[in-house]
Amino acid sequence: MYSGFSQALGAIGGALWGASLVALRGVEIAMEVLGGRWKLAVLEKLLESGTLRFGELKRVLPGVTQRMLTRQLRELETDGLVERTVYRQVPPKVEYSLTEAGESLRDIAARLGSWGRWYLDTHGTPSGKAAESGLVGRDEKSFGEGVDGVEHDAGEVNGADREHIGAQ
């Protein structure tokens, strides 16, 4: 009887471990899709504004190079989070917006933003790449509703737009 109990306990433990592995795999997939120095920042700006041109994104993301922004946008487009719309006109116009999958990140992004503000308040500036990027400690407010219940945004985009025509 003891061996039957042990087997049952082992089966339950294995099922729980399997569920943990599935959850961990989901986190790995999310990090693979969202990982990248500028991807979350790009998504934040598109969640705030809806649709932006390349030049507008470049302007509201201080420190990002044109090459890096192009690469991050292409990866987000390939992964189905961002849609690139090219208007055939003179001068050509390209806009970036979120797909349904990108929009589905709104609540998650708001909660991550709240957690990040909490972490900064309680632990100070992190030691990794975020500290080097200049994104941590900015005076800009984060996206989404914070733990304080106030809706945060980064303000309006102003000025002339630089057109971006890249790979389609």
Q: How far apart are CA 38 and CA 41, in angstroms?
A: 5
Banded model confidence at residue 135, pLDDT cuts 50, 70, 90: low
Torsion of Cα atoms, 138 then 144 then 149 then 154, to 10°:
40
Worst-scoring range by mean pLDDT, 56-60, 99-103, 121-125, 141-145?
141-145
| Class for the domain spanning 40-152 | mainly alpha
Strand 144-145 with 51-53, pairing: unpaired
Question: In which residue are the tokens 């592995």 written?
Answer: 21
Each domain of the chain, given as residue ranges in start order, spans: 1-34, 40-152
Strand 82-87 with 51-53, pairing: unpaired
Its pTM stands at: 0.64
Q: What percent of the chain has pLDDT over 90?
A: 54
Q: Can you name the residues that pair with 93 across neighbouring β-strands?
A: 87
The 10s digit of each residue's pLDDT in 19-31 is 666 667 888 999 9
